[in-house]
Copies of this chain bind each other. A is one copy, B any other.
Amino acid sequence: MGLLENIHDPWDVKALPEQSLAPLCREIREFLVQAVSREGGHLASNLGDVELTVALHRVYDTSRDRLVFDVGHQCYTHKLLTGRMAGFENFRELGGMSGFPKPRESVHDAFIAGHASNSVSVALGMARARTAMGADYNVVAIIGDGALNGGMAFEGLSDAGKSGEPLVVILNDNGMSINEGVGGLAEMLSTMRTRVEYISFKKWYRKAILPHIRYVSRLLRRAKRWLKERIIPENMFDDFGFEYIGPIDGYDLHKLESALRWAKEQRKPVLVHVNTVKGKGYGPAEKAPDAFHGVGTFDPVTGVPACTGEDFSAVFGKALTELAREDKTVTAITAAMKEGTGLIGFQKAWPKRFFDVGIAEEHAAAMAAGMAAQGLKPVFAVYSTFLQRSYDMLIHDVALMGLHVVFAVDRAGIVGRDGETHQGTFDVAYLSTVPGMKVYAPASFAELRSMLRKAVLEDTGPVAVRYPRGGEGAWKKDWDGAACTVLSGGGASGPGVTLAVYGTMTDEAMAACRTLEAEGVRVQVVKLNVVCPLDTAAVLDSARETGALLVAEEACAAGSVGERLLAAAEEAGIALRAARRIDLGSGVLEHGDPARLREKKGLDAGSIVKTVREMLHAEDQA
């Protein structure tokens, strides 16, 4: 160390002599491996773009030029070089530095990131704003080959190319999406990647071929025209109106800087194709970049992850693999998340019934609808936050025809340290609007297995099974098959309350129940196993009995289960002494440890106890 600790802002990077850059990059890599091993985070992608980020900061001034990261899990070097080294101390903790770009954190962060494929669109909007307002900053988008597979990236490229707006799109091509390259686009890039650099070939073609070709036969004139048409423009990016250069070696700092300076000078859309390697410079991550994509803590020397138990994703994957054995029409679909969603085993067991479509959630849902229309039983495993991309397809392609597509909605509820762009807090609301949708909320591994079996083999129409990130808690029971389970407390005889909860909130409710019962409060926990359609009758029956209703959930307020239950109580004309709901409200939920976020939002057992006491106290006063 020595160079990095003297980098306080990007001007320090610009001031470094060229021969100091390689040592700086080494120091950055060491720092990143240490920091991520300690706190968890995204590693492989950040190790891949160290040199590219250094080059960007030498060419651009990010305090005014707008650098738009796609997905954003390659921004650690950028954070390091923009005065946020100390932020890696309480990295991704509540109140600490975010793992993604965040404008509120630094003027150098032009835009938030988290969901893939938006960067070209955002950058084009910024470039158009610049032109419309007569400003003169530069706009740069950095997008990986994985994110390029997302349809919005194409929409953005198509519009940007035609616009003529000066802007630079950097294709950070590590030859793999989050998993290995999938789809025709990956194929195309793979061909391009191995080519000689295009800009030098263009020069060679102009110098070497064009003059000679003039003298060859009439027959070859046609070939010449084709040569010209094919070579200039030569690929999809040219076709779309971009000036294309590359592929550039992502670890040749000199070439990177030259290419970026050249691109900056063009007064038009430019695409700079950069070849990088995920995990670059750290053996364990280079060998297994998937495993080091998003990681928990690990041993920085060996790369061995700190031990973690089985999680819902793994249980889902195993259960689905078993179901596929029983029913030959079961297929599994992932959008570039086969590791995260626990489908590696399924792929091995049933390679022909496993479909990784790349980052393409819209396509995944519509394709699943096509499969279901012709008799397969597709299961699309996807994070709650990314399924937002498929909202229209849920309604239009799946629900209007009542097709039996199963959505395995992983990372539902609070996801924790990945933060605001990844929280799975909207799915209860948006899934409930989808005609005919059924939504299960397992609280234990056993329940996940049973509900998945029901959803895949027995249900019809659209079905979702939503489960949280991580492992199960104290609740380990299997599902009794009912839409909701009423769990009576010890039968205290004082004033009563009904606690309606689902999924992860079961443990908090049961803990609150124990405390309250000890205080003489009569508690009925109504554990909702199906949150859409709701078995309101059971909840209302319990509330009638206890006289008060509290609904607690890890979901946004609008369209929540609490809203539906309280509305149903009002419509049924039940005279409750008190009715309340605790949820995540209508704002943005920041990053941080899930337990701490639950506390902050009043969703932990202690807060629930307090709320119930308030409800009963208000009642006494009334």
Q: In the complex, what residues of B have CB within 8 A of residue A395's CB? A: 388, 426
Cβ-defined contact, A587 with B376, below 8 A:
no
- Tell me the minimal C-beta distance from A352 to chain B in angstroms: 7
Cβ-defined contact, B331 with A367, below 8 A:
no
Give the complex CA separation of A125 and B151 in angstroms: 17
Q: Does A613 contact B (CB under 8 A)?
A: no
Q: Knowing A391-B392, A396-B112 are in contact, say whether A559-B562 is a contact too (CB < 8 A).
A: no
Cβ-defined contact, A157 with B129, below 8 A:
no
Cβ-defined contact, B110 with A373, below 8 A:
yes
Q: Does A541 contact B (CB under 8 A)?
A: no
Cβ-defined contact, A122 with B563, below 8 A:
no
Cβ-defined contact, B389 with A392, below 8 A:
yes
Q: Mark A212-234, 1 if CB is under 8 A from B, else 0.
A: 11001101101100110111001
Cβ-defined contact, A130 with B374, below 8 A:
yes
Q: Knowing A223-B223, A241-B184, A360-B155 are in contact, say whether A370-B126 is a contact too (CB < 8 A).
A: yes
Give the complex CA separation of A371 and B558 in angstroms: 28
Q: Does A123 contact B (CB under 8 A)?
A: yes
Q: Knowing A227-B230, A234-B230, A420-B400 are in contact, say whether A360-B159 is a contact too (CB < 8 A).
A: yes
Q: Mark A376-396, 1 if CB is under 8 A from B, else 0.
A: 101000000010110111011
Cβ-defined contact, B188 with A353, below 8 A:
no
Q: Does A524 contact B (CB under 8 A)?
A: no
Give the complex CA separation of A125 and B405 in angstroms: 12
Q: In the complex, what residues of B have CB within 8 A of residue A107's CB? A: none
Q: In the complex, what residues of B have CB within 8 A of residue A124's CB? A: 367, 370
Q: In the complex, what residues of B have CB within 8 A of residue A62's CB? A: none
Contact with A66, one of B160, B374, B587 (Cβ below 8 angstroms): B374
Main SS class of interface, A = helix
Cβ-defined contact, A370 with B111, below 8 A:
yes
Q: Knowing A125-B370, A533-B586, A563-B563 are in contact, say whether A363-B579 is a contact too (CB < 8 A).
A: no
Give the complex CA separation of A135 and B329 in angstroms: 13
Instruction: Give 7 A-B contacts (CB < 8 Å), ordered by A residue.
Output: A118-B366, A133-B374, A152-B393, A155-B362, A227-B227, A430-B430, A435-B587
Point out residues on A near B: beta carbons under 8 Å: 66, 68, 103, 110-112, 114-115, 117-118, 121-130, 132-133, 135, 149-162, 182-188, 191, 208-209, 212-213, 216-217, 219-220, 222-223, 226-227, 229-231, 234-236, 239-242, 329, 331, 352-353, 355, 357-358, 360, 362-363, 366-376, 378, 386, 388-389, 391-393, 395-397, 399-401, 420-421, 426, 429-430, 432-433, 435-436, 532-533, 556, 558-559, 562-567, 569-571, 573, 575-576, 578-581, 586-588
Nearest 9 Cβ contacts at the A-B interface: A151-B151, A125-B370, A230-B230, A184-B240, A161-B184, A559-B559, A155-B363, A129-B374, A121-B366
